[in-house]
Chain A
Amino acid sequence: MTTYFLRRALGAVAVVLVLSAVVYVTFYVAPGDPARLACGPRCNTEQIRQVREQLSLDDPLLTQYWHFLQGVFTGQDYSTGTSVLHCDAPCFGLSYQNNQLVTDMLVDRLPATASLAVGAMAVWLAVGIGTGLLSALRRGGVTERALTWLTLAGTATPVFISGVALLMLFCVYLEWLPFPSYVPLTQDPEQWAWNMLLPWLALGLLESAKYARLTRSSLLETLAEDHIRTFRAYGVRERSLVARHALRGALAPVIALTAADFGSIFGGAMVTEVTFGLPGIGQLLVNATQKIDLPVVVAVVVITGTAVVIANIVADVLYAVADRRVALR
């Protein structure tokens, strides 16, 4: 077990290092001149030269990457000409747009993304596992066919269509809900929930289609296994067969997928965030890309990559915990 963790942790560190190096190098070597971007469109050659010096863009690439890593782990000082700006430990540099610390920008955006992730996950687990179980247990009937078509339609509809459809239905025609605008949880929990309801539904229902299919196939597979057949032959009732013996093994891949998805949602929920105007990390990435704000883009990409790598390790461990037959090697 310990060797397993050591090996996985080392592997994860290697992946993250390679990933960040690739991202960093492609971004700062890419055809566009970072100094010109950082300085803005009205800069003359002399000002651009100063910025180059400030960002030490003339150093060898390896040194630059080393400085980037140093910034992430120990913090860094930036001279803005007259004063020195200190950037604490997880330092991803300064935004080209407003000279704000990228780390601060990300921390500001985290609550909205986390709110979305947690609520949407509750929706997709409830709906996805529910429909998956239902369609697996009512095999061959009308219920199964209807659910199959619903999940097919669910996967074929991107959030920016289902989201607008939900907005039209609930905010314009029925007028049951106010037009969503993000209210922080700490400010007013009730308003927070009402305003997050539609984003949760839009993202949760989209994802639930995937979970329904996985739950269905996984349960059917487990029910066809030898030990279940043995239980059945001994006269164990179908209900307790499913609830007590099959479900645990059947849900193992579902739990693993949940953990893996939770990692990627931090950068990947941008469509939902943009559709509903949630000030989250995904929206930040989209805005930064449009303005070619490289430090922000690099930070989001590296952090998302790291989150995904960690989430995948967590997923594997959870899988082994839920399904004892899986050995961690």
Chain B
Amino acid sequence: MTDLLSTPEPAAGLAPASGARQVWRRLRARKSALAAAAVLGLLVLLALAAPLLAALEGQDPNTYHDALVDSARGGVPLGDFGGISAEHWLGVEPGTGRDMFVRLLYGARVSLLVALGATVVQVLIGLAVGLGAALGNRFADSALTHLTDVMVSMPLLVFAIAMVAVVPADFPRPLLLVFAIGLLAWGSTARLVRGQTLSLKKLDYVSAARLTGGSSWRVARRELLPGLAAPVITYAAILVPSNIVIESTMSFLGVGVKPPTPSWGQMLSTANTWFRADPAYVLLPASMLFVTTLAFTVLADGVRVALDPREASRLRVGRGGRESRKSRPGGTA
């Protein structure tokens, strides 16, 4: 009985493969997405190679250089643009004289790691809760939907900050941030998964799998997850930049990663007192953060369009008229 049923399997396995190639082709057709991907690729490369590049420059993120700052003027870096020189490619930090180039690179590591880790946690919880609500009985659905509603409405930052106060100080902070963001901000993902699953459930092939005796778990894994891939990937791509902003916000507020670990948000919190004397010190982490979040947002938009077959036809036809614009799904926009 189940052998007969497993015939859709190869089809389900094949479709995403050819679909993936198609999606990739559509993504490449968009110049803005391509540019964003290039920027992010470079950033990831820089973050991965941070120790190498630091060695190349001959600096490390935590060494103080008292001789490079003007102690008479409160620690403003000597030289132009925050003390740019052959030894310090992007100048030094005011007050301490630590190397900016290396600190920015290590800051990128923190931002990307925390944001991606938190996204993974969010998507996993969102999938579990969303699928549980959509496939469970009436009671489970109502309980999980209520929980999701509460999670969505609560101000994330307040609770994330409170979580930092509870966890003992020796717990590694980046990991704590991953969990604080991931455990608190999965509500909208769960909502999306539940909605998508409910509409997928009505489709014939899923009903067929259920009627022929596939267990809920099997149906979820074999029939529903492939159908959920596109909306969930699209949504995860939007979650990453928002997680980067949350991490930098928490570091800015002094409840993120602990010094001396460099983080863009943390640099900006001290930048607040320095921007009159040393504007370069504000501009560097601010532009890193801005470029990164913007690139992720643009890439996410590209992924959304590439994964949406209706948008794809619009691409071929050219700049869309009324109808193709209206057909954009509101949920993922």
How distant is the Cα of A165 from the Cα of B165 in the complex, in angstroms? 30
**By CB atoms of chain B within 10 A, which of A155, A156, A165, A312 has the most?**
A156
Is B188 on the interface with A (CB-CB < 8 A)?
Answer: no
Give the chain A neighbours of B255 by CB distance below 8 A: 286, 289-290
Give the chain A neighbours of B167 by CB distance below 8 A: 30-31
How distant is the Cα of A160 from the Cα of B154 in the complex, in angstroms? 22
Q: What residue in chain A is nearest B271 (Cβ atoms)? A: A164
Set A155, A161, A301: member contacting B158, Cβ < 8 A? A301
Give the chain B neighbours of A15 by CB distance below 8 A: 150
How distant is the Cα of A156 from the Cα of B248 in the complex, in angstroms? 12
The 8 A CB mask of A301-316 against B (1 = contact, 0 = none) is 1001100110010000
Of residues 129 through 150 on chain A, the ones whose CB sits less than 8 Å from some CB of chain B are none
How distant is the Cα of A19 from the Cα of B252 in the complex, in angstroms? 27
Cβ of B253 and Cβ of A270 under 8 Å apart? yes
Set A267, A271, A308: member contacting B252, Cβ < 8 A? A271
Which residues of A are interface residues toward B (Cβ below 8 A)? Answer: 15, 19, 23, 26-27, 30-32, 152-153, 155-158, 160-161, 164-165, 167-168, 172, 217, 220-221, 224, 260, 264, 267-268, 270-271, 274-275, 285-286, 288-290, 292, 294, 297, 300-301, 304-305, 308-309, 312
How distant is the Cα of A312 from the Cα of B153 in the complex, in angstroms? 8
Q: Can you list 13 A-B pairs, Cβ within 8 angstroms, ordered by A? A: A15-B150, A152-B297, A156-B294, A157-B290, A164-B272, A168-B279, A217-B333, A267-B158, A270-B157, A286-B253, A289-B164, A290-B254, A308-B155
Give the chain A neighbours of B333 by CB distance below 8 A: 217
Cβ of A268 and Cβ of B158 under 8 Å apart? yes
Distance to closest chain B CB from A123 (angstroms): 19
How distant is the Cα of A19 from the Cα of B254 in the complex, in angstroms? 25
Distance to closest chain A CB from B172 (angstroms): 14
Q: What residue in chain B is nearest A29 (Cβ atoms)? A: B166
The 8 A CB mask of B240-260 against A (1 = contact, 0 = none) is 010001001100111100000
Is B168 on the interface with A (CB-CB < 8 A)?
Answer: yes
Contacts known (A274-B252, A274-B253); A160 close to B268, Cβ less than 8 A: yes
Set B154, B168, B290: member contacting A308, Cβ < 8 A? B154
How distant is the Cα of A161 from the Cα of B288 in the complex, in angstroms? 11
Cβ of A300 and Cβ of B286 under 8 Å apart? no
Cβ of B162 and Cβ of A301 under 8 Å apart? yes
Cβ of A160 and Cβ of B265 under 8 Å apart? yes
Cβ of B158 and Cβ of A156 under 8 Å apart? no
How distant is the Cα of A305 from the Cα of B155 in the complex, in angstroms? 8
Contacts known (A156-B290, A217-B333, A292-B165); A300 close to B153, Cβ less than 8 A: no
Give the chain A neighbours of B290 by CB distance below 8 A: 156-157, 161
The tally of residues in B whose CB lies under 8 Å from a CB in A reads 40
Distance to closest chain A CB from B314 (angstroms): 14
Is B202 on the interface with A (CB-CB < 8 A)?
Answer: no
How distant is the Cα of A286 from the Cα of B253 in the complex, in angstroms? 7
What DSSP secondary structure best describes chain B's contact surface? helix
Cβ of A156 and Cβ of B157 under 8 Å apart? no
Set B241, B252, B268, B275: member contacting A156, Cβ < 8 A? B241
Which residues of B are interface residues toward A (Cβ below 8 A)? Answer: 150, 153-155, 157-159, 161-162, 164-168, 241, 245, 248-249, 252-255, 265, 268-269, 271-272, 275-276, 279, 282, 286, 289-290, 293-294, 297, 326, 330, 333
Give the chain B neighbours of A224 by CB distance below 8 A: 326
Cβ of B269 and Cβ of A286 under 8 Å apart? no
How distant is the Cα of A47 from the Cα of B320 in the complex, in angstroms? 74
Give the chain A neighbours of B254 by CB distance below 8 A: 286, 290
Distance to closest chain A CB from B44 (angstroms): 19
Q: What residue in chain B is nearest A213 (Cβ atoms)? A: B333
How distant is the Cα of A31 from the Cα of B165 in the complex, in angstroms? 11
Cβ of A172 and Cβ of B276 under 8 Å apart? yes
Cβ of B265 and Cβ of A294 under 8 Å apart? no
How distant is the Cα of A27 from the Cα of B297 in the complex, in angstroms? 36
Cβ of A268 and Cβ of B168 under 8 Å apart? no
Give the chain A neighbours of B276 by CB distance below 8 A: 172
Distance to closest chain A CB from B326 (angstroms): 7
New A-B contacts (15) at CB < 8 Å, excluding given A264-B155, A270-B157: A27-B162, A31-B167, A153-B294, A156-B297, A158-B289, A160-B269, A164-B275, A172-B275, A260-B153, A274-B269, A275-B272, A290-B254, A290-B255, A300-B162, A301-B162
Q: What residue in chain B is nearest A218 (Cβ atoms)? A: B330
Contacts known (A164-B268, A164-B275, A268-B155); A158 close to B248, Cβ less than 8 A: yes
How distant is the Cα of A320 from the Cα of B150 in the complex, in angstroms? 20
Cβ of B153 and Cβ of A304 under 8 Å apart? no
Distance to closest chain B CB from A155 (angstroms): 8
**By CB atoms of chain A within 10 A, which of B154, B253, B294, B333 has the most?**
B253
How distant is the Cα of A152 from the Cα of B301 in the complex, in angstroms? 11
Give the chain A neighbours of B158 by CB distance below 8 A: 264, 267-268, 270, 285, 300-301, 304
Give the chain A neighbours of B162 by CB distance below 8 A: 23, 27, 285, 289, 297, 300-301
**By CB atoms of chain A within 10 A, which of B155, B254, B276 has the most?**
B155
Cβ of A271 and Cβ of B249 under 8 Å apart? yes
Cβ of A268 and Cβ of B157 under 8 Å apart? yes
Distance to closest chain A CB from B27 (angstroms): 19
Give the chain B neighbours of A288 by CB distance below 8 A: 165
Q: What residue in chain A is nearest B298 (Cβ atoms)? A: A152
